[in-house]
Structure 1
Amino acid sequence: MAHPSRAEAASGSDDGAEIGVLPRRSAPPTPPRTPDEEAILTIWREVLERPDIGVLDDFFDLDGNSMHAIKVISRIREAYGVSIRAIDFFESPTVAALAAFVAANAPSERAVVRPRRPDAEPVLSFDQHRLWLVDQLVPGGAYNVHGRRRLLGPLRVAVLETSIREIMRRHETLRTRFPDIDGEPLQVVDDLDEEWRLRVVDVSDADDQVRAAERVLDEDAMASCDLAQGPLFRALLVRLSDTDHVLGITAHHTVCDNGSVALFVKELSALYRADGDPREADLPPLPIQYRDFAVWQRELLASDTVARQLDYWGEHLAGAPAELTLPVAERPAAVNGSADSADSAGDGGDGGSGSGGGGGRVRSALPAAEATALRELCRATDTTVFMALLAALTAVLGRWSGQRDVVVGVPITGRLDAGTRGLIGLFFNTLPIRMDLRDTTTFAEALTRARESALGGYGNADVPLDLVVRRVRPPRIADRTPLFQVVLNVVDSDRSSNGLGDIDDEPMDSPVMPSKLDFVLTGKELDGEIPLELEFDADRYDEARMLLLLDEVRALLRAACADPATAVFDDQPHHP
């Protein structure tokens, strides 16, 4: 599966000095000509959430991004049993090309998640077990995921409570705990407590109601969970007035990730608008539960597929630096030994709190004009916004640190088949993407390296980070995550809620959770601008320096859009 680079087609040259923009399609979309094209076109329409697609349209000209591509690949594998490498998809990203590839290739060996056998052991998933070990080493740590939404309007509290109860009934993870039996945890799912009630706190008498509500919600978000006794999920409604409430949900990371929060809000929206009646809400059935996934994952980890992927990571990370040494931070001294499973339990950018330092947050954005120019550059170079941000971020980190070989953590979803797609639980993984820019001089070269590294990582994403750490065995550094200390995440716009009927439903900021990471940079794919949010370790960095880092990333992207041959380094490291 290959075609000429769009950069060459658009610029008329192959030296990368001038990259043009492909024209948008003016003709009607080409309809499907075979059953395979029709089926794959349906997948594209569902993932991209747009109907106006033809079988010859380029995926990235339709504003598809890296995560969209991963979802399409997983759904094709689910439908046909055929594995498509990420690099193959990027080389020929049309429905017609994918249908031809499917027709020419045999089914792969990777099975989808199915219900476990009745006699299967109640095992934990690999990441659940890792987090359980962390809790044994540091009992009482608030390793939580938290989300909150402002609800404006005449809220029906009883209907809200009924809706939350139904979500708890549907998803076993929200009723799960992990008792210790002879030194090993078991996954126990409790029956839904008929006495469960939504906790309501009234702050309507406070002078500053919003601040009072935030204080109550922050305390709940930071409160620890007892993994053995539970509950590991809780919901809290704060009443500011009859028509102003804030709903906060908190769960231990063993049973929830950030994707779960979005699923929770989506189901809550459907149930509330249906008066809490699951039949009227028309939620899709859940063919499996998280315990089924845990059993399946344990079997997958013993397969040849994972062994091959571990070989990839061992080669990819061979000789990589153990730590990013930015001059703006004081560093702890290295200790003897190498990293083990407990050390690798950082939150990976997924929003869990831990035992690290206090957190800070700064924001910036690529305004619409800059975002449009960046997307045009990405279309012309067969790349994505994520890849461009990865190139720019690592180049700036290289300037600041003097290191031109950097490893960045990249969160990736594990919800890659029909069974897990609508399931609340812990599914994310973090890929240690290495950007070796020692032989790189221009942004175009850095972008090519970002593309290669990202596609290699996507194609070997079944291996949990902890197994990669065990394979690579980087030096262990006190209070630091192994392999990487910086995370980059690019997410879609928040479409998790369709509102609660006559209630205006708005997401609110959550507190910045403590973390062992230096910082997490999150970009959000919107139709216009691209917001950038940087959450950082406030014990190591200050807001001014973090804003300067965002400014340098933006400046490099602006320069690269004007001229991809822009130099990414100068002779001296920067010391902001």
Structure 2
Amino acid sequence: MTVMGFVEEELAQMWAEILGATDVALGSHWQALGGRPETVRTLADRIDEELGARVEPEGLLDAGTLEGMSRLVRGAMTAGKAGAAPAAAGPAGPRAGARPERPALSFAQQRLWFMQQIDPDTTLYNVPTVLRLRGALDHGRLGRALTALVARHEVLRTTYRASSGVPHQAVAAAPGEFPLPTTDLTAAAEPAAEAARIAAEVGAYVFDLAADLPLRAHLLRLGAEDHHLVVTFHHIAIDGWSVEIFFRELGELYGDPGTGTGSGTGPGTGGEPALQYADYAVWQRERLQGDTLDALTAHWRSVLGDDPQALAVPTDHPRPRHRSFRGAVATRDLGPELTARLREFGRAERGTLNMTLLAGFQALLAGWSGTEDVTVGIPVAGRTRPELQELLGCLINMVPVRVGLGGDPAFRSLLARTRTALLDASAQQELPFDKLVEALVSRRSRDFLPVFRVMFSFLKEQSDPVFAGLEHCSLDLTGPQDTAKYDLSLYAQESGAGVALTLEYDTDLFGPETPAALLAAYEQTLHDAITFPDGPVLDLPAVRFRPSGTERNTHRDR
């Protein structure tokens, strides 16, 4: 095999594993297969580790295609062989079994545990899901698959207990049988309505983190070949990336004829994964100290400054003294035509659809708030190492993306600034948000949102799990929509039909008219920005957002 063929084949395999792509060709484009900034960083780390070539994530994103990235990697490999200084060895990754008897919580888990202690009855950190299954479902087989999955991943059978006020993880033995209660709704007058009611009840379960396993499941039978599997997780054990792993593996275990019989123990692994979440938590705490912690903290201080102030958008109502976390949502769809134009514009400007959507949102927030300094929170996967790609658990982190709109930039310029800021934030995502706040923010409380109060999340097109013998499976990750962690959270879900927008808002601050008007202004901003990309973006009419017919949109809280 030639060196050229080897590099391209190795890169294609990395693409397939990182992006979940099944058909990667020379002309395949990273963005077209759902590539995002944080996965570019993961790709760069894997290239460094497996091919010994140090390449920058921004360069990979510029190259775009598999062929272009291969040329970049070959050039880096050639430079190294010609006598250039070799890439420094990366830090050792987490190791299986390298933990004490009472492993500490990860930083993300510690925050969630602490919040649950403050309000033991909260369901704010529940992650409810519904898997719709059509076909001849084998109930017993599904129960055995669920039991095998809980046995496979320790984090699904971990409780969180405190000794002298300090929490630790307590991993329980694999269950003989995980409970899967079943309710037959075939005789109900309105099976779908009754299913929704039960799903809401399961989703509102109040977890006792010291006693309960962090998931509950309930199977609903609406018809002979129509079932809903309702699963509610606590966020302390799961994140969005892990939810997809959970249901994918559940489908694989359901399709394994050995599941539950002793002859099969897991999808392609021969039992439990080598690396468990508790191993990761111990490694994370060992890694994030000393010089590593100091360097990450110094970087974020250079970006945000000391005591950074959160963006204050005008609100319909004064901010209450104590947050209730009550929320609601407004929705809107960007059609396929506008979505295609946004994607192509971003690609032409060396950006992604994600970056283009974020730049438009930042422009709208700047115009609405009357500020040239916009910081928005972005969730990142936290899976910056290859061994973390398939790990089940809560690895997600929040990073601030700060962009200045000074100098009256055109949209092209704003997109370039957003691109740089987002890639930089992704490259420095390892610092847990709580550690960032601890280092930079002087005022901290449960009712005060530090650094940012507005969140933006770009969600790639979802792949539904496969269950052998069933005609159709679809996964609903929306969950209840009556809570709000931030003032505003904009979710942009990519699909073949375009981009579905969901704006979650704090009902203590906004009435329903403002979020609906904000989404309409956002769509118009995106349209106008790529139609007139060279004029001052803050001069676009839609950017000067003011809810029509509203006199009350004047409250500000710094």
TM-score, normalised with respect to structure 1: 0.84
Counterpart check, 1:44 vs 2:15? yes
Counterpart check, 1:97 vs 2:72? yes
Q: Deviations over 1:308-327 (max 9, x none)?
A: 12111111111686233222
What displacement does 1:388 show? 0.9
2 CA distance for matches of 1:436 and 1:310?
21
Equivalent residues of 1:80, 1:107 under 8 A apart:
no
State which of 365, 371, 389 in structure 1 corresponds to 2:339: 371
Q: Which residue of structure 2 lines up, in the alignment, with residue 304 of structure 1?
A: 291
Q: Which residue of structure 2 lines up, in the alignment, with residue 330 of structure 1?
A: 317
Q: 1:470 to 1:477 in 2, by over 3 A?
A: closer
Equivalent residues of 1:78, 1:417 under 8 A apart:
no
Q: 1:386 to 1:289 in 2, by over 3 A?
A: same
Alignment of 1:24-103 (within 5 A): 33=4, 35-48=6-19, 49-54=21-26, 59-60=30-31, 64-80=35-51, 84-93=55-64, 94-102=69-77
Q: Which residue of structure 1 lines up, in the alignment, with residue 91 of structure 2?
A: 110
Letter in 2 for 1:113: P
Q: 1:517 to 1:69 in 2, by over 3 A?
A: same
Equivalent residues of 2:333, 2:500 under 8 A apart:
yes
State which of 162, 168, 174 in structure 1 corresponds to 2:156: 174
Equivalent residues of 1:442, 1:565 under 8 A apart:
yes
What displacement does 1:524 show? 2.3
Q: 1:118 to 1:479 in 2, by over 3 A?
A: closer
Alignment of 1:351-362 (within 5 A): 356-362=324-330
Counterpart check, 1:234 vs 2:203? no
TM-score, normalised with respect to structure 2: 0.87
1 CA distance for matches of 2:57 and 2:202?
41
Letter in 1 for 2:519: L
Q: 1:256 to 1:57 in 2, by over 3 A?
A: closer
Equivalent residues of 2:317, 2:509 under 8 A apart:
yes
Q: Which residue of structure 2 lines up, in the alignment, with residue 189 of structure 1?
A: 171
1 CA distance for matches of 2:163 and 2:53?
41
What displacement does 1:477 show? 6.8
State which of 276, 279, 286 in structure 1 corresponds to 2:264: 279
- Aligned to 1:569, the other structure's residue is in SS state helix
Q: Deviations over 1:510-544 (max 9, x none)?
A: 21252330122122233451222222223322333
Letter in 2 for 1:43: M
Counterpart check, 1:397 vs 2:365? yes
Unaligned runs of 5+ in 1: 1-30, 336-354
Q: Deviations over 1:526-576 (max 9, x none)?
A: 345122222222332233322222222221221222231143224995321
Q: After superposing the two structures, state which structure 1 stretch, 528-537 or 476-485, moved more.
A: 476-485
1 CA distance for matches of 2:496 and 2:150?
34
Q: After superposing the two structures, state which structure 1 stretch, 285-294 or 137-146, moved more.
A: 137-146
Q: After superposing the two structures, state which structure 1 stretch, 174-183 or 93-102, moved more.
A: 93-102
Q: Which residue of structure 2 lines up, in the alignment, with residue 562 of structure 1?
A: 531
Give 4+ residue runs of structure 1 displaced > 6 Å after superposition.
none
Q: Deviations over 1:144-199 (max 9, x none)?
A: 11211222222211111011001001000110001111211121100123253212
Q: 1:452 to 1:184 in 2, by over 3 A?
A: same
Alignment of 1:369-448 (within 5 A): 369-448=337-416
Q: Which residue of structure 2 lines up, in the alignment, with residue 134 of structure 1?
A: 115
What displacement does 1:365 show? 2.2
State which of 151, 163, 179 in structure 1 corresponds to 2:133: 151
Counterpart check, 1:507 vs 2:494? no
Q: 1:284 to 1:382 in 2, by over 3 A?
A: farther
Q: Deviations over 1:90-146 (max 9, x none)?
A: 344422202433553413332222214365651111111122222222223222112
Q: After superposing the two structures, state which structure 1 stretch, 281-290 or 387-396, moved more.
A: 281-290
Equivalent residues of 2:456, 2:490 under 8 A apart:
yes
What displacement does 1:373 show? 1.1
Letter in 2 for 1:308: A
Q: Deviations over 1:446-465 (max 9, x none)?
A: 11110111011011111000
Equivalent residues of 1:378, 1:388 under 8 A apart:
yes
1 CA distance for matches of 2:361 and 2:421?
14
Counterpart check, 1:449 vs 2:443? no
Alignment of 1:432-511 (within 5 A): 432-473=400-441, 475-476=443-444, 479-508=447-476, 509-511=478-480
Equivalent residues of 2:360, 2:529 under 8 A apart:
no
What displacement does 1:496 show? 4.2
Letter in 1 for 2:502: E
Q: Which residue of structure 2 lines up, in the alignment, with residue 345 of structure 1?
A: none
2 CA distance for matches of 1:456 and 1:92?
18
What displacement does 1:231 show? 2.0
Q: Which residue of structure 1 lines up, in the alignment, with residue 552 of structure 2?
A: none
Q: How many pairs are equivalent?
A: 526
**What percentage of residue pairs aligned between the two structures are identical?**
29
- Aligned to 1:393, the other structure's residue is in SS state helix
2 CA distance for matches of 1:118 and 1:71?
25
Equivalent residues of 2:464, 2:474 under 8 A apart:
no
Letter in 1 for 2:173: D
2 CA distance for matches of 1:167 and 1:488?
32
Equivalent residues of 1:327, 1:575 under 8 A apart:
no
Counterpart check, 1:520 vs 2:494? no
What displacement does 1:61 show? 6.7
- Aligned to 2:379, the other structure's residue is in SS state strand
Unaligned runs of 5+ in 2: 81-85, 548-558
Counterpart check, 1:294 vs 2:263? no
Q: Which residue of structure 2 lines up, in the alignment, with residue 344 of structure 1?
A: none
What displacement does 1:237 show? 1.1
Q: 1:441 to 1:187 in 2, by over 3 A?
A: same
